[in-house]
Amino acid sequence: MAFTPGPLVRAKDWLVRRPSAFTLLLIVALCAVVGGINPVFFQMSNLFDMARACVVVGLFALGVLIVLAAGGLDVSFTAIAALCMYAITKAVLRYAPGTPIAVILLAGAVGGALLGALNGLLVHALQTPSLIVTIGTQYLYRGLLLTFVGTSLFMNIPASMEAFGTLALIDRVSAQGTRSVLPAFVLVLAAAAALTWWLLNRTLMGRAVFAIGGSLSIAQRLGYRLRTVQVFVFAYAGLLAGVAGIVHVSSNRMASPFDLHGMELDVIAAVILGGARITGGNGTVAGTLLGVVLVTLVNNVLILVGVPSTWQKVIVGSFIVLAGAFFAIRRSR
């Protein structure tokens, strides 16, 4: 007589096969708890602030996703973003203050892609784990920034960047007089997510990324060029980091060379919580965005329910351990 699993067993199997659904359940549970304790959480202005906080983290996470999917790990993206945002802001202020935002974003993308491509070339040439290489380039890029570009804070940024940062996609005032603004730069994250999904799921390069991340030896026997893929994934992560840096300056309306430092673990945690394997060959854009939402929720809403900010890392770490337990169950089946 064949064994028929019960509803609980089937639900558990369904969750194990879909790690991003587990992340979604955590988000729903966290929202229910926080919203139940403090209804202010569900106000439109707070939700828009959450969306604003997700943009830079989301851009970084999409870059980390594609590197992880190829079996690598990049921790230099915040240094790339800081170097691009500060150098470009300083150059525009000094030499071309009337530069349009589209040109500034393009400059950030190109600068970030070049620095990321250097990461890829070094990883391939040195045949060294990408974590070691990108730790080195992280210090190199930050050192170049602080030594040769500058250390002073810019409180005035180019007019086009300030206009971009304050441009509203939705601007509403409630009956109580509370203003809710959804900034237009959230569209940058939407466009980056769509492009990353297309690259990973509709192009030969996407197949190569997952193939090399899944099994390097098999991928090489199938004819995939390791150097090309490695340079591409690190250049793409650098491109998104450069754009994230410009968005960061525009949204904060100031440029500091010390910004963004220390975000690396939060971003990598978001990608892992979204279902990507640290060993490569797996990961989705939707899951990564859910991981970004979960980490942003933990980092931004605990104060609403009176939880000390020092508990943020404890909670994110607990979620990662839970996610790791689910992955272990999935591998054992």
pLDDT single digits (tens) 167-189: 999 988 877 777 889 999 999 99
| pLDDT computed for residue 248 by the predictor | 96
For residue 32, count CB atoms less than 10 angstroms from its CB and return exposed for 0-12, middle for 13-18, buried for 19 or more: exposed
Check whether domain 42-320 has CATH 1.10.3470, yes or no: yes
Residue 49 CA to residue 251 CA, distance in Å, equals 12
87-101: per-residue pLDDT in tens?
999 999 999 999 999
- Say how many C-beta atoms besides its own lie within 10 A of residue 31's C-beta: 16
Q: How many CB atoms lie within 10 A of CB 85?
A: 33
Considering 13-27, 75-89, 206-220, the range whose residues carry the highest mean pLDDT is 75-89
Residues 40-90: tens digit of each pLDDT: 888 888 889 999 999 999 999 999 999 999 999 999 999 999 999 999 999
Whether residue 34 has pLDDT greater than 80: yes
The DSSP H or E segment spanning 281 is none
E runs forming strands in the chain: 168-173, 179-183
Q: Which two tokens stand for residue 220?
A: 């090489």
For the chain, what is the mean pLDDT? 88
pTM of the full predicted structure?
Answer: 0.92
Largest CA distance in the chain: 80
pLDDT for res 301: 77
| pLDDT computed for residue 327 by the predictor | 63
Spans of all domains in the chain: 42-320
Q: At what angle do helices 186-202 and 285-301 cross, to 10 degrees?
A: 150
Q: What is the pLDDT of residue 12?
A: 64
Q: Which helix (H) or strand (E) holds 212?
A: helix 204-214
In this structure, the dihedral spanned by the alpha carbons of residues 318, 323, 325 and 328, taken in order and rounded to 10 degrees, is: -150
**Tokens, residue 81:** 């973003």
For the chain, percent of residues with pLDDT exceeding 70: 91
